[in-house]
Structure 1
Amino acid sequence: MLWFRYESAGFYDQTTLPGNVGLCGNITASQVTTFTAAAGSLLVDLRIATPKINGFFAATKNEVVSSGGNGNATVYGVAQCAETISKIGCQDCLNVAYNNLQSCLPDTDGRAVDAGCFMRYSSTSFFSDNQTTNIAHFLKGGGNSRNKGIIIGVAVGGGGLILLLIVGILLYFKLSRKSAADHRADILGATELQGPVNYKYKDMKSATKKFSQENKLGEGGFGDIYKGTLNNVKIVAVKKLVALQSDRAKANFLNEVKLISNVHHRNLIRLLGCCSKGPELLLIYEYMANSSLDRFLFGNFRPFSPARSKKGSLNWKQRTDRIIGTARGLAYLHEEFHVCIIHRDIKTSNILLDDSFEPRISDFGLARLLPDDQTHLSTRFAGTLRYTAPEYAIHGQLSEKVDTYSYGVVVLEIISGQKSSELKSDAMGEFLLEKAWKLYENGSHLELVDATLDPNDHKPEDVKKNHTDCSDVHSIISCSEANNV
């Protein structure tokens, strides 16, 4: 079986995409220290050599003799990049693959799959010695960078085909695995999706320093969230779910997480994996160093906020970019992913900012994980009251419009710099929604704009745009871009 791909748009130059993943075995090496050293050294060499080899393919093995006399370790590895990408693109892709495989060690097997490359290591030989590549002269300095391993190599031209076969079998196995217990997953289409990475509870406990107060990032309705460092390199955010203790909830947990972990968009936080074996259920996310949007709108008022920020520190352009980016993320959840996901808790504290201050919607899909009779509020709906559409809060009527209403409240907060729950102490003394509606009726739109904004940064006509046709997030994006807001 070969691995084929087709799309309606060109992808020949793609190297790494948000869907990249590391797939780890479930057997720990008997000689942990020796094997980890051998595998780590081999992966480094593959990462360096493969982009320099014609055809972007290398297969090699590394044998290490334990200095303590506890036994030897042999590890086998392959790496390959698509020949349609550049040498630099191959290097970038293999760097990501290498980092993804670090979380697998000291497991005896690990695979990393990305848009433009593939990397695998194993304690078991999956190619014969006459199919290996002599990579010694491709390494830095023209010699062996390990100084303690033996590389057996004879270049072969058919190695690429072998690798494609390996990838095809891997993907076929992951996509076709099915059981009667996955009936709900069938309904959601989740059995056709890539499964989440399963992290070990002990590793997450160590990464978060035993879920210490020092590493705590925040508290939420679904559970507390902690900063974690994997292998002293990769930083992640670890959420401890508090509402999933029943047997029924745990049974559905992996099926739902499988669905959510396949949602990839530049305006959505990526779910890296989960931990289902341990005293608590954990979700592992990308770490966002800039925290959440509310910090930059209302100031640093939360006790666990990782950095200080000044209220009103976003200018008009930055605010409108956050508005449009959030709309794009919602549009993907509602209409572009193969299953409609309604967030149900859109608010400024659930919009995180990456290193480039690009908005990323977080906690999407968490309401799907909750048991039918339990939510993160005392009421029967999942959400935060001041952002919740009346028809949902009162009658439980759930549709994409619930998120659109919440998003509208977020837009008003971004423009005004006022929290929707805050009762202004000015002469009007009104909540934000009431104030905004009256200003709209009176045609006094400009009075809603945050007073901390530089009036020279925005034009009055931009603020007063009448988006009467913007009834959903797709329309909001179109309206905003057409009006250059």
Structure 2
Amino acid sequence: MKKVLCCFKGESSSQGAARNRQQPGTNNNGDEEDPQRPFGDNEYLNNAWRNNLQIPDDRLPREPPRSSPPRLPRFTLRWQEILEGTQNLADANMLGEGNFGQVYRCNIPRLDKVGAAKIQKVENAEAKTEFEAEITTLERANHPNVISLLGQCVTDEDRVIVYEFMPRGSLEYHLYADARPAPGLQQQQGRVVLNWEKRMNIALGVASALIYLHEELKTVHRDLKVANVLLDEDFVPKLTDFGLATRMVRDGNGIEKQCEIDPIKGTMGCIAPETEESALVSSKSDVYSYGVFLVTLFTGRKAFDRARPVGSRKINEWLMSVWSRDEYLPIVLDVALGNTFSEEGVKRLFQAARMCMDPNVLQRPTMRFVETMLRQAAAYDVVTLAPVLRRREMA
């Protein structure tokens, strides 16, 4: 079976038009020009060129209004800017650590922004593949629930991706009591209890991000989990970590088909069975992971927990005893919700999760169908119910 490389690079029409309009090196008369002023006396375009800004093309029609945020300009950053912005990679600025490097809070005065800088060592070939997958995906992305790319830096020793900074950190921190806050977050409010409304908004935001990936970017995320969902000041979720992102594959009739990956990567408990067993991925693999995400979000349980008895370490195994009995569902909800939630909404949520986590990949719905079910769940009234037997009574 053909294997698919996950790195793609596009160019906007305005970038191409600007490049074709006049190449740096000559002016309109064909004479040599100042290399710092390739557009002659037009300082607006010269400044845009010097700072790697997207150069506009006024000949193109204006885009109609849309819900996506304005695309942030992306810069090629200097290593010295990364060092200064992170205070020489100070531990106090660390936001996290992954398989291939660390993430630091990074002030970038030139952009007048605070970013999150993911730093990798260049000698790691596997890390290079994920770096390229992430850069090429985020360069094309523009959605309110997908993390924004601010810039990148590549030196002889390091590769750096800089994203927008999310002040509330990861969803994992607010969901699990044993999750430690990152030193670089400098959170003043600390961990916040997520009520029903916040969780519904997070679930809908992540669903919207996946719809965008699947329908617009034709891309499979491959590593959806609570740790890869970051929260802004208003708890708006942003999907991040696109190192495993893979372009969707279609047959001659334009129908998506599964593609083979090597090696198998992902997070235990979140990986779809066809990926875990046969190294196959598709948009339906993300749908499965979203089902796991939905259950973890509303139960407060981890997708995989070695502390649970053998046979119930994966969350779908843990829920097996209540999957088919709607009246039992409230007992597995996160105790942090108290008794304030929607009974009908809970039923619809778990119905959506069961459909997403169907072992048969062909039986899973699309993310757009799942989002419709979530909106229906969110429409039910939220009430404070009488105390119920909670999940702590379950082994």
1:277 maps to 155
1:329 maps to 209
2:301 maps to 418
Of 294, 297, 310 in structure 1, the residue corresponding to residue 172 of structure 2 is 294
1:480 maps to 374
1:408 maps to 291
**Structure 1 position 297, deviation (Å):** 0.7
What residue identity is the alignment partner of 1:409? V
Q: Deviations over 1:318-343 (max 9, x none)?
A: 11111111011011111122xx2211
Q: Deviations over 1:243-289 (max 9, x none)?
A: 7634x986996687244312110000012221123311111111111
What residue identity is the alignment partner of 2:331? E
Q: Secondary structure at the match of 2:337?
A: coil
**Structure 1 position 407, deviation (Å):** 1.3
Structure 2 Cα separation of the partners of residues 469 and 364 of structure 1: 25
What residue identity is the alignment partner of 2:212? Y
Structure 1 Cα separation of the partners of residues 85 and 203 of structure 2: 34
Structure 1 Cα separation of the partners of residues 306 and 133 of structure 2: 42
1:128 maps to none
Structure 2 Cα separation of the partners of residues 382 and 429 of structure 1: 22
Structure 2 Cα separation of the partners of residues 164 and 283 of structure 1: 31
Q: Deviations over 1:118-151 (max 9, x none)?
A: 6xxxxxxxxxxxxxxxxxxxxxxxxxxxxxxxxx
2:282 maps to 399
**Structure 1 position 420, deviation (Å):** 2.0
Q: Secondary structure at the match of 1:381?
A: coil
**Residue correspondence of structure 1 range 23-422 to structure 2 within 5 A:** 77-78=43-44, 109-110=50-51, 112-113=53-54, 164=58, 197-231=75-109, 233-242=112-121, 245-246=124-125, 257-299=135-177, 301-302=179-180, 304-305=182-183, 306=185, 307=187, 313-337=193-217, 340-367=218-245, 380-422=263-305
What residue identity is the alignment partner of 1:207? G
**Structure 1 position 419, deviation (Å):** 1.3
Structure 1 Cα separation of the partners of residues 140 and 276 of structure 2: 29
Structure 2 Cα separation of the partners of residues 260 and 254 of structure 1: 10
What residue identity is the alignment partner of 1:265? H
**Structure 1 position 398, deviation (Å):** 1.1
**Structure 1 position 368, deviation (Å):** 5.4
- Whether the 8 Å CA contact 1:312–1:452 is kept in 2: the answer is no
Q: Secondary structure at the match of 1:437?
A: coil
Q: Secondary structure at the match of 1:480?
A: helix
**Structure 1 position 299, deviation (Å):** 2.9
| Aligned CA distance change for structure 1 residues 203 and 272 (closer, same or farther; 3 Å) | same
What residue identity is the alignment partner of 1:452? A
Structure 2 Cα separation of the partners of residues 391 and 316 of structure 1: 32
Q: Deviations over 1:54-86 (max 9, x none)?
A: xxxxxxxxxxxxxxxxxxxxx96449xxxxxxx
What residue identity is the alignment partner of 1:453? L
Any unmatched runs of 5+ in structure 1?
6-25, 28-74, 80-100, 119-162, 169-193, 370-378
Alignment root-mean-square deviation, CA: 4.0
Structure 1 Cα separation of the partners of residues 286 and 86 of structure 2: 32
Q: Secondary structure at the match of 2:322?
A: helix
Could you say which structure has the larger radius of gyration?
Answer: 1
Aligned identity (percent) is: 26
**Structure 1 position 365, deviation (Å):** 4.6
| Aligned CA distance change for structure 1 residues 397 and 315 (closer, same or farther; 3 Å) | same
TM-score (norm 2): 0.66
Q: Deviations over 1:159-200 (max 9, x none)?
A: xxxx847x99xxxxxxxxxxxxxxxxxxxxxxxxx9953222
**Structure 1 position 215, deviation (Å):** 1.5
- Whether the 8 Å CA contact 2:95–2:104 is kept in 1: the answer is yes
| Aligned CA distance change for structure 1 residues 405 and 257 (closer, same or farther; 3 Å) | same
**Higher relative contact order (CA closer than 8 Å, sequence separation 6+):** 2
**Structure 1 position 482, deviation (Å):** 3.0
**Structure 1 position 366, deviation (Å):** 4.5
Q: How many residues align?
A: 307
**Structure 1 position 385, deviation (Å):** 1.6
Structure 2 Cα separation of the partners of residues 252 and 424 of structure 1: 31
TM-score (norm 1): 0.55
